[in-house]
Amino acid sequence: MNDMQFLTWVRGTGLDIAVSIFLLGVIWRLFEIYSIGRKQDLAAPRSTPGASGLHTIFRRSVPPEGMMKRSPVSYIGGYVFHIGLAIVVFLFAPHILLISNLTGLSWPGLPSQFIDLITVVTMAAMVLVLFDRINKPVKRFLSTFGDWFTWTLTFLPLLTGWLSVQHLLLPYTTMLALHILSVELLLVFLPFTKLFHAFTVFGSRWYIGKINGHKGVAV
Amino acid sequence: MQGPLIDTLARQGVTRRAFMKYCATLASMMALPPAAGRAMAEAMAAAPAAAKRPSVIWLPFQECTGCTESITRSHSPSLEGLIFDAISLDYQETLMAAAGHQAEEALHAAMKANEGKYLLIVDGSIPLGLDGAYSCIAGKSNLEALKEAAKGAAAIVAMGSCAAYGGIPKANPNPTGAVSVSDIIKDKPIINIPGCPPIPVVMTGVLAHFLTFGSLPELDGKGRPKAFYGETIHDRCYRRPFYDQGKFAKTFDDEGARNGWCLFELGCKGPVTYNACATVKWNGGTSWPVESGHGCLGCSEPDFWDAGGFYKALSMPADPLKMVANAAVVGAAAGVAISFANRGKKSAAKSAHETTTLADLEK
């Protein structure tokens, strides 16, 4: 298989397989998670200001008092890499073109040099977050294979995308194919790893917030 | 500088100075040191009388003659055409006056007289299906002819994408079982000059290199001369700034197209195509496909016919996603089935639950 055949495969059959597994997994897990339900809490609800599902959704995006000082890398690094990732994924013109082709939705993109800068910043933030995870004994102790694996899955598309644009290491065609392949791997594993938080993060925050809100606790 | 070529050029009104300039340009295009230009000029100028000029045999297989047309016509009557005066083109079906048995005789005479020294140029792919019956010359299959001619060749030039990579004949479903020269010949130096057709100056550059140094220029991983195929169309494209700014033509006649914006969204394969079109251009530097408003087809890359369609952007799916709808249905079914299983478990746990009374605790 030469590099062009490889590229055509990842753009064709590979993409078909990856998107299919992704959709299958996402739909399956959403059905599974949201159908579990919960036993009704028969206790009389207490109402405290700020204790509700909606409040928790927003509150959990802001560091609790004192935590920013204790764990700045987690918060700042986390913010930078999540926002950076969103910009790179959704505002790079070729990516928008793919999304528009698959869904019909389209919006304006950003200049490629800007995307390039954001990619470097995002990768730096991810490396920093990883270093922090290795460096802090508690974080390291709490980390499982899934954490290292999903970090790699997220990092590879950024790295290969950047390398391909910069023409580093491998010829562009091969690197572009590897980039698409790495995204396909991400798609395949997303529904079955902790990366599924992309779909459930606000749902679960609302869920926790509501349970606690019923008890009158604002968390 | 003296020699038969210089005399010929002079007769055609080409000055020695113009000839030197041409050789220097050729050398610089191939990223050779400045002295190479003079060496090339001397080697070509010194090319002796007809019988002793380096012999070149050009075999056409499954091809459309576009490669020959490109090289002979687009530049005639330019200096590039005259480089042929430095070689002895002993067999070229389209160009030679001889036909039939005479042509065959010329071919075999040239092969015999220049054994081990001639340059073999091949255009067109070689069919392997039905024992090669899809394409025969003088009762011989292309496969036989190639093997026979390759035996005594000093080097082989696979001219055009068909000879280099199989090209159109090899496109899915490849009814003739077409393959490239390098798929068959393994024991000779092969240089690929892909393109549909290839750029004339690339061919003359390679010929000049062979004449001057007696060897082939430096090649890339796909057997192409690095000097001409070292960079992508995209990286050398004059429309590149528009790509970087995110300005794309959406159709071939919208405002973006009229403003000369990037053709990426219209399917341009420039980012994955290594060729010199963007710098050398075509027809004596007049224009090239992207300049004339059409995206690059990627013709100098292997299997460009089967790379997902000429009008689909590189970041778009190469084929329609066929399994996705079924996958969504299976996912939903699996989700619902597991939901029911979970509910079943829950109600089983509920019914199995034994109420603890005060009396139980006091036991």
Query: Contact A15/B318, CB-based, under 8 Å?
Result: yes
Query: Contact A4/B298, CB-based, under 8 Å?
Result: yes
Answer whether B348's CB lies under 8 Å from B342's CB: no
Task: Sort out which chain B residues have CB atoms less than 8 A from A2's CB and list them.
Answer: 222, 302-303
A219 three-state secondary structure: coil
Query: Contact B334/A24, CB-based, under 8 Å?
Result: yes
Check whether A218 has a pLDDT greater than 90. no
**Residue A11 within a domain:** no
**Residue B301 within a domain:** yes
Same domain, B217 and B93: yes
ipTM: 0.83
Predicted local confidence at residue B33, as pLDDT: 75
> Given the structure tokens 């220029």, which residue do they identify?
B217
**Residue B143 within a domain:** yes
Same domain, B92 and B215: yes
Domain that holds residue A176: 46-214
Mean per-residue pLDDT over chain B, rounded: 87
For chain A, what is the domain count?
1
Query: Contact A97/B316, CB-based, under 8 Å?
Result: yes
Predicted local confidence at residue B73, as pLDDT: 62
Strands (E), A42-161: none
Predicted local confidence at residue A87, as pLDDT: 97
Task: Sort out which chain B residues have CB atoms less than 8 A from A94's CB and list them.
Answer: 264, 313-315
Q: Report how far residue B155's alpha carbon sits from residue B143's, in angstroms, rounded to the nearest whole number.
A: 17
Q: Report how far residue B202's alpha carbon sits from residue B225's, in angstroms, rounded to the nearest whole number.
A: 8
**Residue A158 within a domain:** yes
**Residue B72 within a domain:** yes
Q: Does the bond joining B197 to the residue before it have cis omega, within 30 degrees of 0?
A: yes
Same domain, B198 and B268: no
**Residue B67 within a domain:** yes
CATH code of the domain in which B243 resides: 4.10.480.10
DSSP line for A115-135: HHHHHHHHHHHHHHHHHHHHH
Q: Does B245 touch chain A (CB under 8 A)?
A: yes
> Letter for the amino acid at B215?
S
For chain B, what is the domain count?
2
Same domain, B247 and B194: no
Nearest to A113 among B244, B265, B317 (CB): B244
Q: Report how far residue A77's alpha carbon sits from residue A127's, in angstroms, rounded to the nearest whole number.
A: 9
Which residues, numbered 197 to 236 in chain B, qualify as contacts with chain A under a Cβ-Cβ cut-off of 8 Å? Answer: 221-222, 232, 235
Query: Contact A93/B246, CB-based, under 8 Å?
Result: yes
Interstrand relation of B140-141 and B136-137 (parallel, antiparallel or unpaired): antiparallel
Tokens representing A87 are 């910009």
* B346 → chain A, closest CA residue: A36
* Numbered residues of chain A with Cβ closer than 8 Å to any chain B Cβ: 2, 4-5, 7-8, 11-13, 15-17, 19-21, 23-32, 35-37, 93-95, 97-98, 101-102, 108-113, 167, 171-173, 176
Query: Contact A5/B303, CB-based, under 8 Å?
Result: yes
Report the predicted TM-score, pTM, of the whole model to 2 decimal places: 0.84
Q: Report how far residue B263's alpha carbon sits from residue B91's, in angstroms, rounded to the nearest whole number.
A: 41
Query: Contact B317/A102, CB-based, under 8 Å?
Result: yes
Predicted local confidence at residue B81, as pLDDT: 57
Given B306, B326, B353, the domain boundary residue is B306
Q: Report how far residue A182's alpha carbon sits from residue A187's, in angstroms, rounded to the nearest whole number.
A: 9
Q: What backbone phi and psi angles, to 5 degrees, belong to B87? A: -120, 170
Length of chain A: 219
Instruction: Give A120-149 pLDDT, tens digit per residue.
Output: 999 999 999 999 999 999 999 999 999 999
Q: What backbone phi and psi angles, to 5 degrees, belong to B141? A: -70, 160
Tokens representing A117 are 């800068």
Domain that holds residue B289: 233-306
The larger pLDDT score, comparing residue A130 to residue B206, is at A130
Alpha-carbon Rg for chain B in angstroms:
30
Q: Report how far residue B205's alpha carbon sits from residue B27's, in angstroms, rounded to the nearest whole number.
A: 8
Residue B49 pLDDT grade (very low, low, confident, very high; cuts 50, 70, 90): low
Task: Sort out which chain A residues have CB atoms less than 8 A from B300's CB and list them.
Answer: none
The alpha-carbon gap from A176 to the nearest alpha carbon of chain B, in Å, equals 9
**Structure letter (DSSP) for residue B40:** H
Same domain, B126 and B183: yes
**Residue B363 within a domain:** no
Same domain, B260 and B212: no
Say what the alpha-carbon torsion angle A63, A65, A71, A74 is, to the nearest 10 degrees.
0
**Residue A120 within a domain:** yes
Check whether B180 has a pLDDT greater than 90. yes
Predicted local confidence at residue B88, as pLDDT: 79
- If you count residue pairs, one on A and one on B, with CB atoms under 8 Å apart, how many are there? 136
Q: Report how far residue B146's alpha carbon sits from residue A167's, in angstroms, rounded to the nearest whole number.
A: 37
Tokens representing B105 are 């005789």
Answer whether B271's CB lies under 8 Å from B307's CB: no
Ranges B80-84, B133-137, B280-284: which has the least confidence? B80-84
Check whether A182 has a pLDDT greater than 50. yes
Q: Report how far residue B157's alpha carbon sits from residue B124's, in angstroms, rounded to the nearest whole number.
A: 11
**Residue B314 within a domain:** no
Same domain, B145 and B288: no
B310 three-state secondary structure: coil
User: Which residues contact residue B164 at a Cβ distance below 8 angstroms, ignoring those fewer than 6 apart?
Assistant: B158, B180, B181, B182, B192, B193, B194, B222, B223, B224, B302
Ranges B20-34, B58-72, B179-193, B328-342: which has the least confidence? B20-34
Predicted local confidence at residue B3, as pLDDT: 67
Predicted local confidence at residue B97, as pLDDT: 81
The alpha-carbon gap from B263 to the nearest alpha carbon of chain A, in Å, equals 12
Tokens representing A138 are 């508690």
Q: What backbone phi and psi angles, to 5 degrees, belong to A109? A: -105, 180
CATH code of the domain in which B79 resides: 3.40.50.700
Given B163, B196, B229, the domain boundary residue is B229
What residues does B219 pair with on adjacent strands?
Answer: B225
Q: How many CA atoms lie within 13 A of A177 on its CB side?
A: 20
Answer whether B325's CB lies under 8 Å from A18's CB: no
Output the 3-class SS for chain B.
CCCHHHHHHHHCCCCHHHHHHHHHHHHHHCCCCCHHHHHHHHHHHCCCCHHHCCEEEEEECECCCHHHHHHHHCCCCCHHHHHHHHCEEEEECCCCCCCHHHHHHHHHHHHHHCCCCEEEEEECEEECHHHHCCCEECCEEHHHHHHHHHHCEEEEEEEHHHHHHCHHHHCCCCCCCEECHHHHCCCCCEEEECCCCCCHHHHHHHHHHHHHHCCCCCECCCCCEHHHHCCEHHHHCCCHHHHHHCCECCCCCCHHHHCCCECHHHCCCHHHCECCHHHHCECCCCECCCCCCCCCCCCCCCCHHHCCCCCCCCCCCCCCCCCHHHHHHHHHHHHHHHHHHHHHHHHHHHHHCCCCCHHHHHC
**Residue A152 within a domain:** yes
Q: How many CA atoms lie within 13 A of A46 on its CB side?
A: 9
Same domain, B177 and B165: yes
Nearest to B245 among A2, A111, A173 (CB): A111
Q: Report how far residue A192's alpha carbon sits from residue A196's, in angstroms, rounded to the nearest whole number.
A: 7
Nearest to A23 among B274, B315, B327 (CB): B327
Q: Does B334 touch chain A (CB under 8 A)?
A: yes
* A113 → chain B, closest CA residue: B244
Interstrand relation of B55-60 and B88-92 (parallel, antiparallel or unpaired): parallel
Check whether A13 has a pLDDT greater than 80. yes
* A94 → chain B, closest CA residue: B315
Same domain, B224 and B238: no
Instruction: Give A184-217 pLDDT, tens digit per residue.
Output: 999 999 999 999 999 999 999 999 999 999 999 9
Predicted local confidence at residue A72, as pLDDT: 92
Same domain, B224 and B80: yes
> Given the structure tokens 């064709």, which residue do they identify?
A12
The alpha-carbon gap from A186 to the nearest alpha carbon of chain B, in Å, equals 17
Check whether B55 has a pLDDT greater than 90. no
> Given the structure tokens 């939705």, which residue do they identify?
A105
Max intra-chain CA distance, chain B: 124
Predicted local confidence at residue B51, as pLDDT: 46
**Residue B173 within a domain:** yes
Given B212, B229, B246, the domain boundary residue is B229
**Residue B165 within a domain:** yes
Predicted local confidence at residue B242, as pLDDT: 93
Same domain, B170 and B250: no
Same domain, B246 and B219: no
